[in-house]
A and B are shown apart, each in its own frame.
Chain A
Amino acid sequence: MPNPLELPQGVLDLLLLKTLALEPLHGWAISQRIHTRTTGDVQVQQGSLYPALHRLERKGWLKTEWATSENNRRAKYYSLTPAGRKQLRAEEAEWVRLALAVSQVLGEA
């Protein structure tokens, strides 16, 4: 297995928003979800996950709620706010443009 990818600046935010677009999740589940969705290529540093979540919460893109988790314990669930959804759409579009541009350059070479 190759070493997991280092995430460029800002991409973690996009991944978090996208992951939460489907359903509210707690932090651990988010990290698992990203891990499985990227088939292990992206390993979110467990430590950097929470500061990022808290930062997004502060920006008003995420809201939080305490609820009972699948293993019957209290866990803090994150979900998108309307502002968060808007941000996700914007970042998605931007990412696609960036990826296209980058792959175009790479393709030319």
Chain B
Amino acid sequence: MFEDLRFRLRALFQSKSVERDLDEELRYHYERQVEHMQSQGHTEAEARRLARLEFGSLDQRKEECRDAHGISWLETLYREFRQAARSLMRRPGFSLGVVFMLALGIGGNLALFSVFNGLFLKPLPIDRPEEIVEINTAAPRWNLERTSVNYFDFHNWRAHNRSFAAMACYDETEANVAFTGEPLRLRGLQVTHDMPQVLRIQPALGRFFSPNEDKPHANRVALISHRTWREQYGSNPAVLGQGIRLDGQGFQIVGVLPPDLRVPVEADFWTPLGEAPVQRQNWYLDTLGRMKPGMTSAKATEDLLRIHKSVPDEMSQLTFPFTVGIRERTFGELRSYSLIVLAGVGIVLLIACVNIAGLMLVRAQSRRHEMAIRAALGASRWQLSREWLAEAIWLAAGGAAAGMLLGLGGLRLIVSLIPDTALPAWVSFEADWRFTLFSLALAGTSALFFGAFPALRASRAALRNELAESATRSSTSSGQRRSLNSLVIAEVALASVLLVSAVFLGKALWDLSQVQPGFRAENTLVYTVALPRSQYSKPEQWVNFYNSLIERTQTLPGVRSAAVSSITPLSGHQGNFYIVEGAPPLPKGQSDPVVLRIAASPGYLAAAGLTLAEGRDFEPNEGSAPENTTVLVNESFARLYWKNSSPLGKRISQRSDKPKWMNIVGVVKDWRQYGLDRPMRPAVILPQRAAPSPQMSVIVNTASDPLSLARASRELVRQLDPQLPLFRLTTMEERLSRSLWIRRTYSWILGLFAGLALILAVAGLYGVVSYTVALREREIGIRLALGAAPVAIARQVVGNGAILVAAGLALGAVASYFAARSMASLLTGIDPANIWVYASVGALLLLVALGANFWPARRAASLDPVSIMRSE
């Protein structure tokens, strides 16, 4: 078989050299025979004559040899493809149109597939990524899906598990570092010493931490990232042993991390976590485990639960460890959107294919006479079908090639829509073998789909004698018209599904953008300043620093108000538990929900644009007296404990055996702390003085463009302490817009493709109706000649089209409803029963479709009967 293939390929692509070989071989024989004859005593001339006589005509022999090779399947295939290519070249309009439509469909799919591939399919850039899981705990009683991990639990799991080859936890951190010039804010990781075993990495230089260095009060050592090593130390190996000041504290550099390390997160430095398994209530760590080979996530979870539940205390009974893939936990939300949009572009490709199938069918119709003759002459069904499939494969190949370019371009566009740091650094969208495989699969399936229609038809032509039929030039056969009609119906239905889905998604986005965030988005600047403990060790220093920063900020021109807060809107969560004075003890086993805890300076409500429902804001210096501290709660908190009565004057305390009661002086209206589409948790706001923190965000309400104050703010911070960088500087508007980027991006993409689907479907409808009119010219001509009114003809054409559209819409409405229902199960804010969405999409499609029918109808009405009859 292989020999044969080699032989065939050679015959195909080196036919000249094959011919030369044949010639040389036969000539050699002839010459030898002549020599042979001469050696037997013949003269040269005689010898030549005899040899030629015996051998026969050289050309004749060559022909016989060629016949002996036979015509192979490969050559047949080659001829068929060449034939198909020529036939397509003769109709550049048709071919380019098809390639263009396919390119749109395939390109769209490839772009979206690349996104999906990058997010969900590509393995993480580490060794044996399938063994890595994230470990977290859930606390259903506290209404928390993820609590993060406390070190006590981690320590316990690490010591007793049977499922993991290694387990490590980490905490993301940041530090001010001054190398030379402006102080930088570097991103770091505090890791346990086993992190390298989990990631299976080696240091580029030096060593990792020893278990002894990963303990409280150990020597302070650090590793720096490969990039930091290159950019700040010029890749000098002498960096080992040098000191580095992180937040003013001296660390000794013991190693350099491997290059391009992006898991679990990209970090500029690593320091040991240095925790001891003593405290039970600080859930702040992220944990990664490398499972033993052959271990499953479910079994590992079981193992962890076994260990966890054997600890006999309340915490261990309330929390449940579980394992989850890193992708699932990072992109859980993106998955639904990706699937919806992938289904959407799939529909676009389907519509394109349906369109192309229609065009091919029309072409098959125009060539049916030829097909009939060839069938009559003995061409087999398979032979006739093959030609169409060859054309389909060419078209699909062209469409796939153009689609790849378009897809890569589209991918770039989509990637440019994704905010910079929205995705982890290890995500890459570059095309890989999956991309290629998917392209091939798409092209192949499309070719099969739209090639099958004309191929089937051609093979039918071989079955029955169409010669007689076509000789009478009857109008299109009813079978053909039926298939064209069903294609149009399918197109309209598919397009309407996509349009309805896009409208639902767009409407959800619009509704969301109309939601009142409860805080002020416009004219609000935020940034964060963190104070290193080495220079700012006392809480009073923190409060004083931030107070003077606020005072100075308020003197800047264009500033309406300014305040600091530990947590600003849309910037995360810090939780705690609170108890209410005099409240009856909770039923046994039931825990209070987690409460968002914020520490803020007086004036924070005004600066952030939060509104008071009742009561008052903090007064200056409130909270400095340790007893009799005041506190604000939000509406959710108030509702939770006091239903509809006022909480003013009531007292609450952080949960503790020795409560420190705080007076509620105000109730703040709920705001969307976690995103416009997320519910609000109960929240308390404490005065900064009562709960000082060395890291606060400054929030500034400005009179004009907030970013115009960025430079002045930097200058202020520098004046207060030149060592302090200011970071996460942004506007509230920007934050709000970013919080919606997933919805917005996907809505745009789906909307774009829905538009495309509409155009394709209408083009298909137009094509089919025009074609039908063209085929019926004779009939229409006769009717016109017999006195039919042109208006009646036009009405009939439009009516026929309208019936198809109506059928498509009816089918589409049902399919759309199911599409919307499955979308609603994935996303919030979609009401599949919203009849107006269906109605408006239906009206739009009907309108556009009637427009598409209008031109062919006009043509039909204006036909000249005389010239048609003459052309017979």
**Which residues of chain A have a CB within 8 Å of any CB of chain B?**
26-28, 31-32, 46-48, 50-52, 54-55, 57-58, 60, 63, 66, 69, 71, 73-76, 81
Contacts and interface: CB of A to CB of B under 8 A. Distances in A.
Q: Which 6 A-B pairs have the closest CB atoms?
A: A54-B68, A51-B64, A55-B68, A28-B32, A51-B68, A47-B56
Contacts of A69: 28
Contact of A28 (B4, B33, B61): B33
25 contacts: A26-B28, A27-B25, A27-B28, A28-B32, A31-B29, A46-B33, A46-B55, A47-B55, A47-B61, A47-B64, A50-B25, A50-B26, A50-B64, A51-B65, A51-B67, A52-B68, A54-B65, A54-B68, A57-B7, A60-B4, A66-B21, A74-B24, A75-B25, A75-B28, A81-B3
A76 B25 contact: yes
Contacts of B60: 47
Nearest to B3: A60
Interface residues of B, number: 25
Nearest to B67: A51
A76 B64 contact: no
Given A28-B32, A76-B21, 11 more contacts: A27-B25, A47-B54, A47-B60, A50-B64, A51-B67, A52-B68, A54-B68, A69-B28, A75-B25, A76-B24, A76-B25
A52 B67 CA distance: 10
Contacts of B68: 51-52, 54-55, 58
B57 to A, nearest CB: 9
Contact of A73 (B26, B28, B33): B28
B6 to A, nearest CB: 10
Given A27-B29, A74-B24, A50 B4 contact: no
Interface string B28-49: 1101110110000000000000
Contacts of A74: 24, 28
A46 B54 contact: yes
A71 B67 CA distance: 30
A27 B26 CA distance: 9
A69 B28 CA distance: 10
Nearest to A43: B54
A55 B60 CA distance: 16
Contacts of B21: 66, 76
A54 B33 contact: no
Contacts of A52: 68
Nearest to A61: B3
Nearest to A57: B7
B69 interface: yes
What does DSSP make chain B's interface, helix, strand, loop or mixed? helix
B18 to A, nearest CB: 11
Nearest to A52: B68
Contacts of A31: 29
Given A50-B61, A60-B3, A60-B4, A28 B69 contact: no
A38 B622 CA distance: 125
A63 B3 CA distance: 9
B70 interface: yes
A73 B32 CA distance: 10
Nearest to B62: A50
Nearest to B29: A28
Interface string B184-222: 000000000000000000000000000000000000000
A62 B870 CA distance: 66
Interface in B63-100: 64-65, 67-70
A28 B55 contact: no
Given A47-B60, A60-B4, A76-B21, A54 B69 contact: yes
Nearest to A78: B25
Contacts of B3: 60, 63, 81
Nearest to A70: B32
Contacts of B25: 26-27, 50, 75-76
A50 B65 contact: yes
A32 to B, nearest CB: 8
Nearest to A58: B69
Contacts of B26: 50
Contacts of A71: 32, 35
Contacts of B61: 47, 50-51
Contacts of A66: 21
Nearest to B66: A54
A63 B4 CA distance: 11
A76 B65 contact: no
Given A47-B61, A47-B64, A58 B7 contact: yes
A51 B4 CA distance: 17
Nearest to A76: B25
Contacts of A51: 61, 64-65, 67-68
Interface centre among A58, A60, A74, by most chain B C-beta atoms within 10 angstroms, is A58
A55 B67 CA distance: 9
A61 B56 CA distance: 26
Contacts of A32: 36
B29 A46 contact: yes
B1 to A, nearest CB: 8
A56 B310 CA distance: 79
A52 B61 CA distance: 11
A58 B70 contact: yes
A95 B412 CA distance: 72
Contacts of A75: 25, 28
Interface centre among A26, A50, A74, A76, by most chain B C-beta atoms within 10 angstroms, is A50
Interface in B113-153: none
Contact of B28 (A28, A55, A57, A60): A28
A51 B60 CA distance: 11
Contacts of A46: 29, 33, 54-56
A66 B24 CA distance: 11
B3 to A, nearest CB: 5
Interface string B226-270: 000000000000000000000000000000000000000000000
A31 to B, nearest CB: 8
Interface string B1-29: 00110010000000000000100111011
Contacts of B29: 26-28, 31, 46, 50
B56 A76 contact: no
A55 B70 CA distance: 9
A60 B64 CA distance: 18
Nearest to A30: B29
A41 B68 CA distance: 26
Contacts of B36: 32
A1 B542 CA distance: 126
Contacts of B55: 46-47
Contacts of A55: 68
Nearest to A75: B28
A54 B70 CA distance: 10
Interface centre among B32, B54, B60, by most chain A C-beta atoms within 10 angstroms, is B32
A69 B32 CA distance: 11
Contacts of B31: 73
Contacts of A54: 65, 68-69
Contacts of A57: 7
A65 to B, nearest CB: 11
A14 B186 CA distance: 84
Interface centre among B3, B29, B33, by most chain A C-beta atoms within 10 angstroms, is B29
B2 to A, nearest CB: 9
A21 to B, nearest CB: 19
A63 B10 CA distance: 14
